[in-house]
Amino acid sequence: MSSFDEADAFDAASVPLSQRAMQSARPAPYLDGLNPAQREAVETLDGPVLMLAGAGTGKTRALTARIAHLMTQGKARPNEILAVTFTNKVAREMKERVSSLLGQTVEGMPWLGTFHAICVKLLRRHAELVGLKSNFTILDTDDQIRLLKQLVVAESIDEKRWPPRQLAGIIDHWKNRAWTPAKVPTSEAGAFNHRGTELYDYYQQRLKALNAVDFGDLLLHMVTIFQDHPDVLAQYQRWFRYILVDEYQDTNVAQYLWLRLLAQGHRNICCVGDDDQSIYGWRGAEVGNILRFEKDFPGAKVVRLEQNYRSTPHILAAAAGVIDANKGRLGKTLFTDLTEGERVRLIGHWDGEEEARWIGEEVESMSRGTRGMEPVSLDDQAILVRASHQMRAFEDRFLTIGLPYRVIGGPRFYERLEIRDAMAYFRCAVSPDDDLAFERIVNTPKRGLGDKAQQKIQRAARDNGTTLIDGARILLADKGLTGKGAAELRVLVDGLARWHRMTRDPDQSHIELAEVILEESGYTAHWQNDKTPEAPGRLENLKELIKALEQFENLQGFLEHVALIMDNETEEGGAKVSIMTLHAAKGLEFPAVFLPGWEDGLFPSQRSMDESGLKGLEEERRLAYVGITRAERVCTISFAANRRVYGQWQSALPSRFIDELPEAHVEVLTPPGLYGGGYGAAGMASSASPAIMAASQSDLHDRAGRADVYNSPGWRRLQERSSQRPMRQPSEQRNMTIDLDAVSSFTDGDRVFHKKFGYGTVMAIEGDKLDICFDKAGQKKVVAKFIVDADRADDVPF
């Protein structure tokens, strides 16, 4: 593993610690500008510390300053500090910030990383204690499910009624709680048709046999090792003088145990978090961990960071009003020095498409600058949704009006089909015994090796007690396979052997090798021959993958890295408005934030409430809190009375969270088309007269209590109507104004290409918008500038 240099990680320098303090006669510059609370959090170095850091209170700043302080005070060498984060991105940013605070590149911090990355390092050193070899492979979710599927099928369980995916979820859940098969409590015995525990046990055996681990194992194995081998634990307890944990409210039981075990040495643990931002309960995070901190670490110092540097007072007050409804909080009151600012804006719409239309226009008008306000760049605006399916309405709309956008948190780079395939090839080349990888690529691209041929290979391997690749060799030698399939398999097996030799050649550039593998295996050609619209993008991604190799010394190091890494944010092009889920937005901030879809059932999500009751509702509320607190200057909340869900029209009530918004901090905008604003929604945003807005606002606000949209005449009317069927089909729009300058050069029947939708045929033309029937994506209206002739698909103007 290339990023891990053992010598560096554990090299105890000969100079005594006390003398290794960086001579700092000058006052530490990293303390400049910290407020008293931050300063306390930075300077309280010894003993347990809980840093309760509200949204936008300079948490990262305090955390990095603390690390800098530890080093300059000579409290610990960089390699004696354990600093844990949840994402690689945050880990990387922290490293950068510490370096810049100290004004020099710190001799790396080998133990600053994600839980998983750190556990990989540790587990490689002690793999044998849990029956693994130190070169174990890390399975991704896909491999995990395929493995479980094999088990389920082998046990002749009906995989329809008992999907392997579900079993994967159950096992994950158990691993999150640090339960080995033997430790799964009897209360769980009914899981997966009473076979859950048993299958979990088989699965673990299978993993061991494959010398593989899944993500959950990384933590679980380390906890097991620490618990069963006190000598090993003691070594690390001694080594890690200071421990820092980011986003502590998101830790699960396994992570909690792991931390607690390590912290029992020096007891210098600083956990940073915000119970109000705990939004990952559904994947095993335990808010209880942070709520219990003072009990776990008696005498802990609790520091509250409450000065907010991000949002206006109205936004903070609105957020506070919502989160206040939750019980059992540790409690923080955010305040700000700012005095100016708009109230949180609230607007209701007839349906989801109108909401998208309105937001589209609002985004545009904000980026242009409106009502005497400074323009807000598209980069500074974000639409935060509860569920990713809500994104489509916005994508469709923005595509139509030609508003540049980016979707954050789509399929992760390393999760993409082509990347996983390519990785599987690399894995096979590096370790010929990686059966799961071989299974993945044996018939990708198609080699005429279908189920039957693969079963033969499996049998040959099993009968000879060897790997699949060797099984394939034996099968070929025995003439157990003939014809085209055999020839292709021969080529593949020979290729793999050759590539494997090349991985061992120190003179062989791994980058070239990777290209050779993808080329010779026919994988590149496979996508070149593919005419689907996504093929060019996939080839692009493969190029990216090759480029990413440059940062590594060899394929092994790269594979290691990619198994754990996720962020691949290649950003190009001009300013774009961001669309993402609320979960993805945590930790980010934007001057202008839109929060659509605040309807009961959607947000808070019905499923959360059904499955987790009050706990679920409270987590949803924290999500609302996270959403509002992302906004720096303008926060716009909206809801729609009707929404098409799975093709059916459904009406909904505004979210109960809307009732929780304190009236004094909310401005209710005219629900276009429903209340006071005439018929059309289009045009309301940018051209609504201030008088109308003001009138509607005072009308609604003169009422006692909350900014209660329920009681607005428009809302009532809407309610009455929505109990029936929507009157107006949402996609039916007024005639577009034809902009003569923009009239396109296309005519009906032209074959065209669109970057996202692929190839299609022009059906109709309306001004600068084309009605196109796409081969794959169906009929859509798209602005002409995003379209090119089909034969010029290479220079799409994106």
Partner DNA sequence: TCATCTATGGTTTTT
Partner DNA sequence: CCATAGATGA
* 54 carries a ligand binding annotation: yes
Among 116, 195, 241, 310, interactor with DNA by CB under 7 A: 116
* 58 carries a ligand binding annotation: yes
* 370 carries a ligand binding annotation: no
* 64 carries a ligand binding annotation: no
Rounded to whole angstroms, how far apart are CA atoms 431 and 449?
A: 22
CB of 86 to DNA, least distance (A): 6
Range list of β-strands (E), 741-785: 751-754, 758-766, 769-774, 778-783
CB of 417 to DNA, least distance (A): 10
Nearer to DNA by Cβ, of 241 and 583: the residue is 583
Find the farthest-apart pair of alpha carbons in the chain and give their distance in angstroms, rounded.
Answer: 88
Contact stretch for DNA (CB under 7 A) within 5-13, 111-119, 318-326, 738-746: 111-119
DSSP 608: H
Q: Phi and psi for 788 in degrees, rounded to 5?
A: -130, 165
* 56 carries a ligand binding annotation: yes
Site for DNA in 191-250 (CB under 7 A): 215-216
Q: Phi and psi for 241 in degrees, rounded to 5?
A: -70, -35
Among 16, 647, 705, 797, interactor with DNA by CB under 7 A: 647
Q: Any contact of residue 181 with DNA (CB under 7 A)?
A: no
Rounded to whole angstroms, how far apart are CA atoms 96 and 504?
A: 34
Give the residue among 637, 648, 647, 641 at the shortest CA–CA distance from 675: 641
Nearer to DNA by Cβ, of 306 and 775: the residue is 775
Nearer to DNA by Cβ, of 49 and 218: the residue is 218
Among 114, 268, 400, 521, interactor with DNA by CB under 7 A: 114
DSSP 335: B
How are beta strands 137-138 and 301-305 bridged, if at all? unpaired
Contact stretch for DNA (CB under 7 A) within 425-433, 450-458, 460-468, 710-718: 450-458
Among 20, 133, 183, 412, interactor with DNA by CB under 7 A: 412
How many other β-carbons are positioned within 10 Å of the β-carbon of residue 771? 15
- Determine whether 247 is an active site residue: yes
Rounded to whole angstroms, how far apart are CA atoms 534 and 754?
A: 11
* 59 carries a ligand binding annotation: yes
Element (H, E) at 738: none
Among 208, 644, 751, 756, interactor with DNA by CB under 7 A: 644
Among 150, 211, 377, 388, interactor with DNA by CB under 7 A: 388
| C-alpha distances in Å from residue 677, one per residue of 362, 669, 687, 695, 717 | 16, 10, 11, 10, 14
Rounded to whole angstroms, how far apart are CA atoms 646 and 641?
A: 16
* 60 carries a ligand binding annotation: yes
Nearer to DNA by Cβ, of 432 and 758: the residue is 758
Tokens 């948190």 belong to 409
Nearer to DNA by Cβ, of 355 and 620: the residue is 620
Site for DNA in 563-592 (CB under 7 A): 564-567, 580-581, 583-584
Q: Any contact of residue 501 with DNA (CB under 7 A)?
A: no
- Determine whether 246 is an active site residue: yes
Contacts with DNA by CB under 7 A: the residue count is: 49
- Determine whether 508 is an active site residue: no
Question: Residues 675, 715: contact at Cβ < 8 Å?
Answer: yes
Give the residue among 562, 567, 539 at the shortest CA–CA distance from 426: 562
Q: Phi and psi for 83 in degrees, rounded to 5?
A: -125, 120
Spot the catalytic one: 77, 241, 630, 643: 630
The site map against DNA for 338-377 (x = CB under 7 A) is ----------------------------------------
Q: Any contact of residue 778 with DNA (CB under 7 A)?
A: yes
For the four alpha carbons of 736, 738, 741 and 743, in that order, the dihedral sign comes to positive
- Determine whether 60 is an active site residue: yes
Nearer to DNA by Cβ, of 282 and 798: the residue is 282
Give the residue among 40, 44, 77 at the shortest CA–CA distance from 58: 40
Give the residue among 273, 344, 295, 325 at the shortest CA–CA distance from 86: 273
Contact stretch for DNA (CB under 7 A) within 31-39, 380-388, 666-674, 738-746: 380-388
How many other β-carbons are positioned within 10 Å of the β-carbon of residue 616? 19
- Determine whether 390 is an active site residue: no
Question: Residues 32, 144: contact at Cβ < 8 Å?
Answer: no
Which chain residues interact with DNA by CB under 7 A?
Answer: 86-89, 114, 116-117, 141, 159, 215-216, 282-283, 386-389, 409, 412, 415, 443, 446-453, 485, 564-567, 580-581, 583-584, 605, 607-608, 611-612, 616, 620, 644, 646-647, 778
Residues with a catalytic annotation lie at: 59-60, 246-247, 277, 630
Binding positions for ATP? 53-60
